[in-house]
Amino acid sequence: MEYGTIWAGATLSQTGAVDGNRVVSGTFTNVPFLVAENYNNDRRAHLDSVGYNIEFDPSDKWALDSDLSWSAVRRTDLRLESTAGLGRNDATQPGFLPPPETVTFTTNGTGVTNLATTHNYSDYNTTFLTDPGNWGGGPTRSGYLGHPTVHDDLKAVKLAATRKLSGLALSGVTFGANYAYRTKSKYEFQSALYLPGGVSHAVVPVAYRQGIVDTSFFGNPYGMINYDAYGLYNSGFWTTTDSRSDPNANPGDVFSDNGSTWSVWEKLTTAYVKADIGTHVSGLPLTGNIGVQTVTADQSANIFFGGPNNAAYHDIGTKYTDVLPSLNLALGLQDDVKLRFAAAKTAARPRMDDLAGGASYSVYADNNATHVTGQTFYWQQNSGGNPKLRPWRANAFDLALEKYFSNVGYVSAAIYYKSLTSYIYPRYVLVDFTGYPLPAAVPGGATYTGANANRIGVGKIASNGSGGTIRGAEFAFSLPAEVVTPALQGFGLLFSASWNRSEIHPDPTQPSVPLPGLSPKVINTTIYYELHGFAARVSERYRGPFLGEVPAYDSSLTDNDVKAEAVLDAQIGYSFTRGPLDGLSVNLSGYNLTNQRFALYNPGAPPFDVIKYEKYGAVYGAQLRYKF
């Protein structure tokens, strides 16, 4: 349910307790409408892949390897948003205005808000399919459809040769080349859901009704109508029209369709040589490898770029080469102790949707210039990808010490440091608008003298920065209890923990920020028992809070703070090894046993500024397996 409160002209009255800057309880009156929403997400993907590998040893010293591969993914996403309500907030239809609503709210300490309404949205005879908020798209609109299609193809060929060596510090040399050609395209389709017969509202057909949703968990005592919107869509109940050709479409949807439709091409040519190390240092065995590879990238994208007077697709790209040396060493300090060291220059490709993605631009009048990072601009790129992006690059160093116990257990400790010489992050960059047309002059209207004289504008797009770091430590062990005492045979403990710190500085006027997706602390613990066919284990996975890239309603990624979580799982099973049931295994499992919540917050916001707070419940499973 979506509530039209402050932004729709409602009045906050009867304010209750206040916690700092937060009103934790109160009542909104004269709320003009409430939207009963029914969201559906459906993803269909089809994968084809073919591979061909030939290995040939012409002699005991040489080995040849060739590999051909092709893979293709065809994916469609369907995002269906059906809306219902008691009326339509449209003054041109006074006979179908929704009754004013009163919404009372209370917020607990975790930021979860309960909202109670005065009207009942569980009656199919009074809660209609319609556009309660009158959000545009014409009088018959009752929802939204997003239906993008993505094609992703990858062709690759690899040729390599290995020469075995003896009597030297090197045990072999491998050299080769790899060529990969990848294309990815996205076609965006958006439409309003139009009711049949030109009506402004309709009851849910009986065949698609699925009872009443219990909404008491967030404070609404009445419930809400529940219906199969996906089935209703597949039945042809609604009419859809591509926003590009829909006269009622919002201009933003039209640009979004064009801007989210793109194609990217990427050609990667790699040549490499690697020498395997096998020698002794002060009587201690030393193994590993040293090598270098060159990667030449030729990338381009066809993207939409639109402004006040022109809108068209453009082909933009770049070409560059990375030289990436690497060293990996393992020194045997004792038979069961190894010291490992690695150093390398590394690179990771940009996301394809960071390379592509359409953009719009704005031209500001003389009396309405924009100010960004303390500077004045008359041109601004508002969104979009960057086909000239370079990859993530880092100088990486790793050091690890490993100890093994009687071939049944181990303990390891490691530290790592990565100096980012190139990272990808949305940031303000200068954009040259030379040659772009100015808005048409209107007598007595705005003037654009400044824009004509100052063609360098600004835009916030995916860009390359430098100077960041990633550093951390890892600790892990696997300890069968029989190593401690034979009396505990079958019991064991698995444990791993990692600590991470990352920072980049994309905006010189703001403090540094962590890299998305990296938690400062991750801990995994498993206690198990395995003996005589019986197996049981309990595991907990803890992940600390982190900045996450979360898909938005249009599949684009947005930054949100993700709260810490600890997920508890358990399994128990038995495998028969004799008698008539020999070969049969029985396994029972439970996941998320404590029903851990998943919570998103605005970046840097207080803990009560909740975007999403979801609980999915525990999942239980049973498995029978028979081997013969």
3-state helix, strand, coil in the chain (%, to 5): 10, 60, 30
Q: Contact, 400 vs 419, CB < 8 A?
A: no
| Statement: residue 66 has pLDDT above 60 | yes
Virtual torsion, Cα 188, 191, 193, 198, nearest 10 deg: -150
pLDDT in tens, 167-187: 788 999 999 999 999 999 999
pLDDT band, very low/low/confident/very high, at 311 (cuts 50, 70, 90): low
Q: Alpha-carbon distance 336 to 351, whole Å?
A: 42
**Backbone angle region of 14, left / alpha / beta, with phi > 0 → left and psi within -120 to 50 → alpha:** left
Residue 519 located in a structural domain:
yes
From the list 181, 193, 89, the residue with the least C-alpha distance to 141 is 193
Q: What is the mean pLDDT of residues 209-216?
A: 92
Q: Determine which of 63-67, 94-98, 618-622 has the lowest per-residue pLDDT on average.
A: 94-98
Virtual torsion, Cα 503, 504, 510, 511, nearest 10 deg: 20
pLDDT band, very low/low/confident/very high, at 553 (cuts 50, 70, 90): low
Residue 513 located in a structural domain:
yes
Residue 471 located in a structural domain:
yes
- Matching residue, tokens 């089935």: 231
* Residues 6 or more apart in contact with residue 320 via CB below 8 angstroms: 296, 297, 390
Burial class (CB in 10 A: 0-12, 13-18, 19+), 499: middle
What sign results for the dihedral spanned by CA atoms 313, 550, 232, 126?
negative
pLDDT for residue 8: 65
Q: Contact, 425 vs 462, CB < 8 A?
A: yes
| Statement: residue 358 has pLDDT above 80 | no
pLDDT for residue 402: 97
pLDDT for residue 336: 92
Residue 482 located in a structural domain:
yes
More confidently predicted of 549 and 277: 277
Q: Alpha-carbon distance 543 to 521, whole Å?
A: 6
Residue 360 located in a structural domain:
no
Tokens of 26: 């109160």
Helix H or strand E encompassing 42: strand 34-56
Q: Alpha-carbon distance 432 to 361, whole Å?
A: 12
**How much of the chain, in percent, has pLDDT values that exceed 70?**
97
pLDDT for residue 6: 63
Residue 17 located in a structural domain:
yes
| Statement: residue 35 has pLDDT above 70 | yes
Q: Alpha-carbon distance 12 to 24, whole Å?
A: 12
Segments of 391-545 assigned E as strands: 392-405, 409-432, 456-465, 468-480, 491-503, 521-531, 534-543
More confidently predicted of 259 and 468: 468
pLDDT in tens, 578-604: 888 888 999 999 999 999 999 888 887
pLDDT for residue 469: 96
Q: What is the mean pLDDT of residues 267-282?
A: 96
pLDDT in tens, 95-131: 899 998 888 888 887 777 888 888 999 999 999 999 9
Burial of 231-270, coded b for 16+ CB within 10 Å and e otherwise, reads ebbeeebbebbebbebeebeeebbbbbbbbbbbbbbebeb
Tokens of 307: 């402004």
From the list 388, 367, 374, 366, the residue with the least C-alpha distance to 432 is 388
Q: Is 338 helix (H, G, I), strand (E, B) or coil?
A: strand
Find the distance separating the first CA and the last CA of the chain, reported in whole Å: 54
pLDDT for residue 7: 61
Between β-strands 337-348 and 2-3, what pairing exists: parallel, antiparallel or unpaired? unpaired
Q: Is 257 helix (H, G, I), strand (E, B) or coil?
A: helix
Tokens of 117: 């309404």
- Which of residues 240, 271, 289 is at a domain's end? 240
Q: Alpha-carbon distance 221 to 448, whole Å?
A: 57
Tokens of 7: 């932004």
- Which of residues 213, 240, 267 is at a domain's end? 240
Q: Is 137 helix (H, G, I), strand (E, B) or coil?
A: coil
Average pLDDT score over the chain:
90
pLDDT in tens, 44-62: 999 999 999 999 999 999 9
Q: What is the mean pLDDT of residues 561-587?
A: 93
**How much of the chain, in percent, has pLDDT values that exceed 90?**
59
* Residues 6 or more apart in contact with residue 386 via CB below 8 angstroms: 354, 355, 461, 462, 463
Tokens of 585: 């295994």
**C-alpha 386 chain-centroid distance:** 19
From the list 172, 186, 203, 202, the residue with the least C-alpha distance to 276 is 172
Domain count, the chain: 2
pLDDT for residue 453: 93
Q: Contact, 275 vs 291, CB < 8 A?
A: yes
Q: Alpha-carbon distance 499 to 518, whole Å?
A: 10
pLDDT for residue 310: 60
pLDDT for residue 428: 83
Residue 382 located in a structural domain:
no
| Statement: residue 4 has pLDDT above 90 | no
- Residue 98: give the domain boundaries: 1-59+80-138+200-240
Q: Is 284 helix (H, G, I), strand (E, B) or coil?
A: strand
- Which of residues 191, 215, 240 is at a domain's end? 240
pLDDT for residue 555: 65
From the list 79, 60, 7, the residue with the least C-alpha distance to 230 is 79
Q: What is the mean pLDDT of residues 17-46?
A: 87
Residue 230 located in a structural domain:
yes
